[in-house]
C-alpha cells in the first residue's frame, strides 16, 4: 500500500527540487540583504612572502610524508 500516493513520484521529486532551489534563492537574498556582496570587501588577500614560503615548506613536508607512506604500502604488498 506504500505506492498509493496522490501524486506520481516524479512530480514529488520535481516539487522537492523546486523547493530546494527556492530555499537557496531565499538564503542568497537574506545574505545579500544582511551582509551584502561588496566588491573588494573581504576578498582573498595576497599572500605575504613569509606566508608563501611557509606554505611551500608545509606542502613539501606533506608530499615527502605521503611518498614515505606510499613506499611503505608498496613494500608490504
Give pLDDT, residue 60. 97
**What cell was used for 41?**
570587501
Which stretches of the chain drop beneath a pLDDT of 50? none
73/67 Cα distance (integer angstroms):
10
**In whole angstroms, what is the distance from residue 37 CA to residue 29 CA?**
11
Please, are residues 69 and 76 in contact by the beta-carbon 8 Å criterion? Answer: no
- The per-residue pLDDT for 44 is 66
**pTM score > 0.85 for this model?**
no
pLDDT in the model for residue 32? 83
User: Which pLDDT score, from 0 to 100, does residue 64 have?
Assistant: 96
Q: What is the per-residue pLDDT for 75? A: 85
**Residue entry with cell 608563501:** 52
Amino acid at each position: 500500500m506504500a505506492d498509493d500516493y496522490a501524486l506520481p513520484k516524479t512530480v514529488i521529486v520535481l516539487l522537492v527540487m523546486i523547493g530546494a532551489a527556492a530555499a537557496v534563492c531565499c538564503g542568497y537574498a537574506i545574505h545579500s540583504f544582511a551582509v551584502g556582496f561588496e566588491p573588494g570587501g573581504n576578498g582573498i588577500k595576497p599572500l605575504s612572502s613569509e606566508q608563501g614560503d611557509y606554505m611551500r615548506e608545509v606542502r613539501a613536508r606533506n608530499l615527502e610524508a605521503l611518498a614515505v607512506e606510499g613506499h611503505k604500502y608498496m613494500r608490504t604488498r
